[in-house]
Amino acid sequence: MEKSNIALIGFRATGKSSIGERLAQVLQRQFVDMDSELTKAFGQSIHNWVRGHGWESFRYAESELLKELAGCRQLVIATGGGVIGSEGNRTLLKKYFYVIWLKATPETIRSRLLDDRRTTHVNRPPLTDLPLEDEIDHLLRERLPLYEESADVSFATDNASVEEVTEQIVEGMGQCKDG
């Protein structure tokens, strides 16, 4: 199966949902935010699900959703930031998705997390027991090689608007192949 889907990967607050939604509009494709879909499936927030069932259960559900989405066509999906933690997920991403890594500096991520009202523990539960700044640094170091391994292309989102990054992606896709 050819790569007819687009997946946005990257750490929290790098713009996957906002840019993914806009990219889907521009490309006239369906947009799927994996975290939103999982919240609907759980019937509760990710934070409450993780608190009651654990991260392992969440990651399993996330992997099952990715498998389902891999069988679809012409989607733009915003993945969860940790989806690349599973080797099976990385394999699915590389095989069935044109993978776009959205990057931002730790400072930008921290600032966006602190400024975003959706960042409450209801929507973005802590991933470690570390303070936010240390958690970001620790997880970015851990995930950097996995993002690099998974991505077909990457774009920095630090000082660019949703529109600017979307335009860069569309231009980049046109140079690579017919997306």
Predicted pLDDT of residue 96 = 95
What does the alpha-carbon distance between residue 132 and residue 154 come to, in Å, rounded to a whole number?
A: 24
- Give the model's pLDDT for residue 178: 43
Say what the pTM is: 0.91
Q: What is the pLDDT of residue 179?
A: 41
Closest-CA residue to 62 (of 43, 89, 44): 89
Q: Please give the pLDDT value at position 151.
A: 97
What pLDDT, on the 0 to 100 scale, is given for residue 176?
58
CB count within 10 Å of CB 61 equals 18
Residue located via tokens 């019937």: 43
Cα 19 to chain center, whole Å?
Answer: 10
CATH of 5-176, one of 3.90.1150.180, 3.40.50.300, 2.40.10.10, 3.50.50.60: 3.40.50.300
- Report the pLDDT value the prediction gives residue 128, as an integer from 0 to 100: 79
**Domain spans of the chain?**
5-176
Give the per-residue pLDDT at 3: 85
pLDDT for 122: 43
Rounded Cα distance between 62 and 83, Å, is 7
Which residue's entry shows tokens 């620790």?
138
* pLDDT tens, residue by residue, 47-82: 899 999 999 999 999 999 999 999 999 999 999 999
Per-residue model confidence (pLDDT) at position 121: 45
Distance CA 73, CA 5 (A): 6
Residues of the chain with pLDDT under 50: 1, 120-122, 177-179
Question: Which pLDDT score, from 0 to 100, does residue 130 have?
Answer: 85
CA 61/CA 50 separation, integer angstroms: 11
CB 49 within 8 Å of CB 123: no
Please check whether residue 83 is in contact with residue 138, taking contact to mean a CB–CB distance below 8 angstroms.
no
